[in-house]
Amino acid sequence: MQEVLTLNDFSNNYIWHSTDFDLLPTFHKNNVLLLGDAAHLALPFTSAGITNALVDAKCFSELLLAGKPFEEVCNNFYQLRATDLKEHVTLGRQIQEDFLNPTSENFKIPLIRNLNEASSKKLQKKISLLYFTDPVCSTCWLIQPQLRKMSLLYGAYIDIKYHMGGLLPNWNNYSRGIINKPDDAAAHWKEMGQIYEMPISPDVWIDSPLASSFPPSIAIKAAQLQNKIKAYNFHRRIKELLFFESKNISDIDLITKTALEVGLDEHKLIKDMGNIAKVKFEEDLALADTLGVSTLPTLIFSNQSNKEFILKGYQEFADLEQVILNLFPEAKADESIKSAIEMFQIYPSMATYEFSYLMGIDKLEAERVLEALKQSGKLQKVVSKSGTFWKLNS
């Protein structure tokens, strides 16, 4: 599999967006009958599309050859097939849920009927992390290297749930520390860019200031409804657009384009933003209020014994690691990632500082390695006023 991925330049790959819909109330109308996927498209997790099409054909032909009227044949065909097909639709959804959320207590491996209890327990994460953040939170951006290193080394032990903190409802009577208006945000970001090594541009607050952080926050909640990994990529890309490219991430066209870029169903995302994702966002705000979250980021770690640690604001990796080891002393850092290209296969876009931080090398050595990968065609180099980003060619 690794060799196939390495040799494939992905220029001719087709992304298959699977479709899910409920069982139809009938498979026929007048003299038209639907069979196979045209009649009952289940999610690919059941892997039964061709089988069901063959069973449809056999079942329908036997009924037809019995010589009964066509309308009666079609009704009998539906009655014979509907129960099994509905189970396949339901099973596909169940397996999808377990596949996307493998910490579920009901996790099943398809085709493996006897998953023993001990194996199930191995799938449970030892540490829970509630991470309260916001798309426009500059500190949340500045600690990206530390959070990525934490996930890289200890991700096998941590179940991270991302919650929005509602940092910027609007600018009407807004007051948060030294920031009361867009100009204040620009000055603060400029100062942060001089202190920290992560690229951060204040230009958006001068050229196209966001009226609120709520629209991109709701978009992130909508992404989470589709796919956990793609939601993370969407969340990360939204931050890159804001902090590195100085884009107004509350723009709905930009949100749509970004969703499509990371492989989300952009139409569903926009639809969900108007209803269920908005509800999920409001639930995040209510949870933050209940837990007394007033600083972003806030990281609430807990283990299975309900032992808890709360970290607020900017964090060094050593602090994150210490909390993990306090909650689960048996945790071992995963040091398996050795090469630069392996790192980019995990994190397809990185600032120069992020790469040097994660690889444990100085900035000059990092730049040499990155330029070499660019020359070989494996990376793209993106330069802005605030710094340099590197993206994996795909």
Q: Which residues contact 45 (CB under 8 A, 6 or more apart)?
A: 91, 92, 95, 96, 99, 110
Q: Which amino acid is at 94?
A: Q
Which CATH code is given to the segment(s) 18-120?
A: 3.50.50.60
The pLDDT of residue 338 is: 85
The pLDDT of residue 97 is: 78
CA atoms within 13 A on the CB side of 31: 0
Asked whether the bond before 216 is cis by omega within 30 degrees of 0, the reply is no
- pLDDT tens sequence for the chain (394 residues): 888 888 887 777 777 777 777 889 999 999 999 999 898 887 877 767 888 899 999 999 999 998 899 999 999 999 999 888 888 888 888 888 777 776 545 555 544 444 444 444 445 789 999 999 999 999 999 999 999 999 999 999 999 999 999 999 999 999 998 999 999 999 999 999 999 999 999 999 999 999 999 999 999 999 999 999 999 999 999 999 999 999 999 999 999 999 999 999 999 999 999 999 999 999 999 999 999 999 999 999 999 999 999 999 999 999 999 999 999 999 999 999 889 999 999 999 999 999 999 999 999 999 999 999 999 999 999 999 889 999 999 7
The pLDDT of residue 103 is: 57
Residue 267, helix vs strand vs coil: helix
Nearest to 264 by CA among 8, 39, 17: 17
Encode 136-175: b = buried (16+ Cβ within 10 Å), e = exposed: bbbbbbbbbbbbbbbbbbbeebbebebbbbbbbeeeeebe
Domain boundaries, the chain: 18-120, 127-327, 340-392
The pLDDT of residue 113 is: 44
Nearest to 317 by CA among 337, 304, 329, 299: 299
CA dist 308 and 327 (Å) reads 8
- Decide if 127-327 and 340-392 have a common fold: no
Does domain 340-392 correspond to CATH entry 1.10.10.10?
yes
Decide: 379 and 370 in contact? Cβ < 8 Å.
yes
The CATH homologous superfamily for domain 127-327 is Glutaredoxin (3.40.30.10)
